[in-house]
Structure 1
């Protein structure tokens, strides 16, 4: 095949022409065309479906925020930072794996050593404005310190509200009262976790 065949734009093809009626000119013809196109069987079928649903009075409207639809236990919403049940310290050991694996680059962490030479996190922020809620941070956490909670209402008027750590960390009052929820989603404890735990000399 030569290049000249592709340059030739005068290619004969077998077109199928669809017959189109001539547009109406007289007012009576226009009126007949409007009536013909309007009152078809599909119109009455649609009206019957709407009327049938109205008679049932089966209202599906959810009165938000008083009523909320149930969400899946594996739903990845705003993060939660957990504490240790025994001591109340934060579970986070400052390994930085969540910061390294974050593909949206929205996690920031600063650490230091306290008086007991234990590594603690001094600053931990998640920019929820950039977070894509992929769940990698919860999957990679070795201490199950960060999980995805069920709170999905994170709208705000200021960007500074998207990076507050105190909103994600479990309060001490909740921990004392046993209200720290364990979500069965990403990063949560598996049902047989107690059987798989091995005692180590570094337990704290």
Structure 2
């Protein structure tokens, strides 16, 4: 329990007791300029917008605010730059760690005895964009991109793999992310010609 010595009693002697006192208090505060402080700020913004061309408004479809590099937006499935194959090896770690249970994966063993991903879907309507799937991926196959406009009229549009997989013809514009399996910045300098066997 708190001691009564810790309390500080506030006595407001100037508290209005009648309607006439309330009216006098309003007039007194108005003459002090308390009501004009907000109007002064508004007029200042109005002046800077009209005469100094310092608008704070972003005209959205044409202008976009810069995003933080750590921003977690719509997922992207990356491809290998050399072979153009999907990086996903079908380990299923992203499906297991997903706390909102929005990732579904179906795999099979192909003719080379390797795991092949048949179906990979992310339900963007359920996803909370926590980033666990991107952190746990050993091949850096799934990352969060910069696309945040994912509105749709149908729920089916939130689960398509083709929307988040990098197309083969756009591979040269694929952004590489730092992490295990990513291409280092000095990769071209490290490449050596393979010696001929003869």
TM above 0.5: yes
Which residue is equivalent to 1:189?
182
SS at match of 2:80: coil
| Structure 1 contact 147–188 (Cα < 8 Å) conserved | no
Which residue is equivalent to 1:121?
117
How far apart are the structure 2 equivalents of 1:127 and 1:191? Answer: 32
Q: Tell me the C-alpha RMSD between the 2 structures.
A: 2.9
How far apart are the structure 2 equivalents of 1:121 and 1:23? Answer: 78
Which residue is equivalent to 2:93?
97
Alignment partner for residue 21 of structure 1, among 16, 31, 34? Answer: 16
SS at match of 1:80: strand
Could you tell me which runs of 5 or more consecutive residues in structure 2 were left unpaired when the two chains were aligned. Answer: 1-6, 190-198
Per-residue CA deviations over 1:41-91 (Å, capped at 9, x if unaligned) read: 222222222222222221111000110011011211100001112222111
- What is the TM-score normalised by the length of structure 1? 0.74
Q: Is the aligned partner of 1:80 residue 2:105? A: no
Could you tell me which runs of 5 or more consecutive residues in structure 1 were left unpaired when the two chains were aligned. Answer: 1-13, 196-204
Alignment CA distance shift 1:162-1:61 (3 Å): same
| Structure 1 contact 73–183 (Cα < 8 Å) conserved | no
Alignment CA distance shift 1:187-1:78 (3 Å): farther
How far apart are the structure 2 equivalents of 1:44 and 1:169? Answer: 56
How far apart are the structure 1 equivalents of 2:181 and 2:31? Answer: 59
Computing the radius of gyration from Cα coordinates, the structure with the larger value is 1
How far apart are the structure 2 equivalents of 1:193 and 1:106? Answer: 37
How far apart are the structure 1 equivalents of 2:180 and 2:19? Answer: 69
How far apart are the structure 2 equivalents of 1:95 and 1:193? Answer: 29
